[in-house]
Chains A and B, each alone.
Chain A
Amino acid sequence: GAGVSQSPSNKVTEKGKDVELRCDPISGHTALYWYRQSLGQGLEFLIYFQGNSAPDKSGLPSDRFSAERTGGSVSTLTIQRTQQEDSAVYLCASSTTSGSYGNTIYFGEGSWLTVV
């Protein structure tokens, strides 16, 4: 596609429910990132996929968070047993390769999650 696509753009869920957030990166981009942005805060790294390598999960805040990337393209971020502190904007980004760390990383518009 023309850009990084994320869905849903807004999600309200009840505390304790599971949610899935989807990211469709730019076609051909091998690197995919998930970041979390809490209200008025900067971006917090969550997880990074690069090609067929094992993902870097070092930013996931707890074992309630998981992500997968199927076929090297679409990624799904899953939050189990959501808590109110999970309320944030979840941003997905992609780039051509991690080999050149100066490459432009393109971001989607994010999924705004509200846990009530």
Chain B
Amino acid sequence: AQTVTQSQPEMSVQEAETVTLSCTYDTSESDYYLFWYKQPPSRQMILVIRQEAYKQQNATENRFSVNFQKAAKSFSLKISDSQLGDAAMYFCAYRSAASKLTFGTGTRLQVTL
């Protein structure tokens, strides 16, 4: 079974600085998607960014980018120019044709002034 591991329960970043959230996963499949979801206090999960395993180019969405290392099974999220509104729980997730969307345990990001 696929597993997703987030080893940082909490992270803190100053406003306007850059922070990187880590995620590793375990799979024997070659074709899959990886996702980062954000969960603010409202509880609603919001998709931040996604990466297809077959694409070598790292995905980027405005201030959010990923560092996808397929061989190492690593998928980190970089948030640049952090804003107060970025404070939330961030979940890394994995999905493939054979598996449901599987989440890590999350990283709580605090943004300080």
Taking Cβ atoms with an 8 Å cutoff, the residues of A that contact B are 33, 35, 41-43, 45, 48, 56, 59, 89, 91, 93, 101-102, 104-105, 107-110, 112
Contact = CB atoms under 8 A, between A and B. Distances in A.
B105 A41 contact: yes
Contacts, number: 47
Contacts of B16: none
B100 A104 contact: no
Interface in B89-113: 91, 95-97, 100-106
A33 B45 CA distance: 13
15 contacts: A35-B103, A41-B105, A43-B45, A43-B103, A45-B100, A91-B43, A91-B45, A101-B96, A104-B47, A104-B50, A105-B101, A107-B44, A107-B45, A110-B43, A112-B43
Contacts of A104: 47, 50
Given A42-B104, A101-B97, 8 more contacts: A43-B45, A45-B100, A89-B43, A101-B96, A108-B44, A109-B42, A110-B43, A110-B44
Contact of A43 (B32, B42, B91): B91
B40 to A, nearest CB: 10
A102 B55 CA distance: 13
